[in-house]
């Protein structure tokens, strides 16, 4: 791994130097390649260049939907498939967890658009009072709801000891100029009622194991670089795997766009001051 002191987190203008001896990137999607509305052209080009130089780009996403659905969304946004080698989502990992409830009644906590997660699985959708498990993919209406709106429902589930599978550990996501809540907030809220959710995506190991299996051949961790904008998902997860990471600044943690002039070393230091892990470096945007 790269060696760096506690004093400074290097701010990079280009990912080229730190990628010199790398053979693979584990690259986040939402927040690095696009914001849900706009594709980030410099990031796309950086991935293309890395691939042309012989590298593999494995996209690793906390989307609660399976890879096929996310690929369709990337096509719709205009993210070209020639900029990455493979894709793994939290939804892919979630499907394996849901299969343990085959034939049993489950409650889907999340928007209708995420129902593709269950395609081909032998599960019975049930009302909250009859479900033996909760599969949480997000808020029913993330534009207008807050986590506290679910306290009554979650308290009732907790009283029965109903297990929750959280298909997206992210707390919030950046969509255009907005920050919208994700399933991770409801899993966090469920913990306040004494119940721990099983988490499918970053920073937990199963999604990294799935991503590493997508590589053409096994690589030492020193030849892999993780890139992402989620401190407690992308950066923490990479640290747990012994993989160097690059933190990409975004509204998710900064609260404002980097164009507003806040992408400074001291700011990044404050973000990581209370955490036991740090990125190898930070960048305002992914670019070569």
Largest CA-CA distance found in the chain, in angstroms, rounded:
55
For the beta sheet containing 24-27, the strands, ordered from the edge strand earlier in sequence to the opposite edge, are 86-89, 56-61, 24-27, 224-228, 244-248, 281-283
CB 22 within 8 A of CB 225: yes
Question: What share of the chain has pLDDT > 70, as a percent?
Answer: 90
CATH 2.60.40.1180 fits 92-199, yes or no: no
Flag whether pLDDT at 284 surpasses 70: yes
Q: How far apart are CA 208 and CA 277, in angstroms?
A: 17
Residue ranges matching CATH 3.40.50.1000 in the chain: 17-91+202-283, 92-199
Flag whether pLDDT at 191 surpasses 60: yes
Architecture in CATH of 17-91+202-283: 3-Layer(aba) Sandwich (3.40)
Average pLDDT of the segment spanning 258-267: 52
Residues 6 or more apart whose CB falls under 8 angstroms from that of 46 comprise 15, 286, 287, 288
Average pLDDT of the segment spanning 256-271: 57
Average pLDDT of the segment spanning 14-42: 95
pLDDT digits (tens, 9 = 90+) for 38-62: 999 999 999 999 999 999 999 999 9
Average pLDDT score, the chain: 90
pTM exceeding 0.95: no
The pLDDT, as a whole number, for residue 264 is 53
Q: How far apart are CA 168 and CA 29, in angstroms?
A: 13
């Amino acid at each position: 791994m790269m060696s760096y002191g506690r004093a400074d987190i290097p701010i990079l203008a280009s990912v080229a130097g730190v990628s010199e001896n790398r053979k693979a990137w584990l690259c986040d999607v939402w927040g690095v390649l696009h914001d849900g509305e706009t594709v980030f052209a410099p990031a796309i080009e950086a991935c293309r260049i890395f691939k042309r130089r012989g590298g593999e780009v494995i996209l690793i996403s906390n989307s609660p939907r399976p890879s096929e659905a996310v690929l369709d969304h990337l096509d719709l946004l205009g993210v070209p498939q020639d900029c990455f080698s493979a894709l793994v989502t939290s939804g892919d990992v979630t499907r394996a967890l849901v299969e343990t409830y085959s034939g049993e009644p489950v409650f889907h906590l999340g928007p209708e658009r995420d129902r593709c997660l269950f395609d081909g699985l032998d599960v019975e959708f049930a009302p909250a009072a009859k479900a033996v498990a909760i599969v949480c993919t997000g808020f029913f209406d993330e534009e207008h709801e807050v986590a506290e709106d679910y306290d009554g429902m979650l308290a009732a589930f907790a009283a029965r000891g109903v297990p929750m599978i959280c298909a997206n550990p992210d707390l919030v996501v950046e969509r255009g100029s907005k920050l919208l809540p994700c399933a991770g907030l409801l899993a966090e809220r469920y913990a306040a009622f004494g119940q721990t959710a099983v988490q499918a995506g970053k920073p937990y190991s199963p999604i990294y194991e799935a991503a590493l299996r997508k590589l053409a051949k096994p690589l030492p961790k020193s030849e892999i670089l993780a890139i992402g904008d989620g401190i407690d998902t992308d950066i923490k997860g990479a640290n747990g795997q012994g993989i160097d990471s690059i933190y990409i600044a975004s509204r998710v943690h900064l609260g404002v766009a980097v164009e507003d002039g806040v992408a400074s070393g001291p700011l990044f230091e404050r973000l990581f001051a209370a955490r036991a892990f740090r990125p190898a470096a930070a960048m305002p945007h992914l670019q070569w």
